[in-house]
Amino acid sequence: MNSVIDIMPATGLDSRPYRFDHPRIADMMHDMFIRKGELGPGDHLGAFALDTISGGSFSDATLAGDGRPALIVFGSRTCPVTESAAEGLPGLHERYGTRVRFVMVQVREAHPGLVIPQPRTFEEKLVHARGLQQHHRFRFEVAVDDLDGTFHRRLGARPNSAFIVDPGGTILFRAQWANDTEALDEALAAVARGTQPARTTVTRTVRAITRTVGYMSGVMRGAGPGAVRDTWLVAPPMALMMRAADLFFFLPTHRRGAPAMAALGAGALVLIGALRMLL
């Protein structure tokens, strides 16, 4: 079976097909970096229009008409980073939701499986978006990008990035990972006051992965058979971290990543030492 759905993206956005049945190492490596030339702080979103699961619209026109800045978060049900980020988003919405419009945008599934496969129609993607909202009980808007991710790819196509934009569509802030709750909180507080965020781009990939590792097993099980296998095939180090995190089941989920990574590091040192003795 071909691992890539044979649908070509819109012209000029990316040479790779956007959707896939199995994760690809090229996409996972792409997620690790923000590349020069991508839209970022100071750039304009341009025209866009996304349906929301409530039957409304999130677009450049409704953004301008609303008059508030907006926090845009990309995510999917099979993305462990989205699962991690979802714990902090409700609190942020409670603090800033009257002054900032919150919008989660359903994108492609990060780790599709038999239970939650990659959508093949827009209607299926809309169902996934409703499932995402219900799973996390989001009390803010959930929008749906088109099937080939035109809006998502315009903003880098990472699985769980976040952007704050002003009502005119200019990007004020960009976070590579939306589970960096502290960075989002700081930026949202600034725009809610009507000022510019002190930091306009935040990456902190190691921190994001550390917070994510504990959520991986649950997300993969939810995605269904195939998701765990694909992780072992495409990203064995991530699969090892996932298994190590399971050993710390007695800790809160968001705290399992650090000891799991420490345990793997200690194991690697022991292995290296043993090999040296043998050689």
Whether 62 and 188 share a structural domain: yes
Structure tokens belonging to residue 135: 């799973």
The number of distinct structural domains making up the chain is: 2
| Cα-Cα-Cα-Cα dihedral sign, residues 251, 112, 128, 71 | positive
Whether 116 and 98 share a structural domain: yes
pLDDT digits 0-9 by tens, 33-45: 898 889 999 999 9
- What pLDDT, on the 0 to 100 scale, is given for residue 11? 36
The last residue of one of the domains, among 204, 223, 246, is 204
pLDDT digits 0-9 by tens, 89-111: 999 999 999 999 999 999 999 99
Structure tokens belonging to residue 5: 């759905």
Per DSSP, what are the bridge partners of residue 44? 170
Look up tokens 């495409």; give the residue. 234
103, 93 contact by CB (below 8 A): no
- DSSP conformation letters of 189-237: HHHHHTS--S-SEE--HHHHHHHHGGGHHHHHHHH-TTHHHHHHHH-HH
Residue 199 CA: distances (Å) to CA of 40, 150, 157, 214? 12, 27, 22, 28
In a domain, 117, yes or no: yes
- What pLDDT, on the 0 to 100 scale, is given for residue 12? 41
In a domain, 18, yes or no: no
Whether 160 and 237 share a structural domain: no
In a domain, 31, yes or no: yes
6, 136 contact by CB (below 8 A): no
In a domain, 10, yes or no: no
The last residue of one of the domains, among 204, 235, 250, is 204
Whether 87 and 186 share a structural domain: yes
Residue range(s) defining the domain that contains residue 151? 25-204
- What pLDDT, on the 0 to 100 scale, is given for residue 268? 61
Whether 166 and 71 share a structural domain: yes
Residue 67 CA: distances (Å) to CA of 12, 168, 170, 277? 31, 8, 13, 67
Whether 198 and 213 share a structural domain: no
In a domain, 17, yes or no: no
The last residue of one of the domains, among 204, 220, 251, is 204
Whether 59 and 189 share a structural domain: yes
Instruction: Specify the pTM.
Output: 0.89
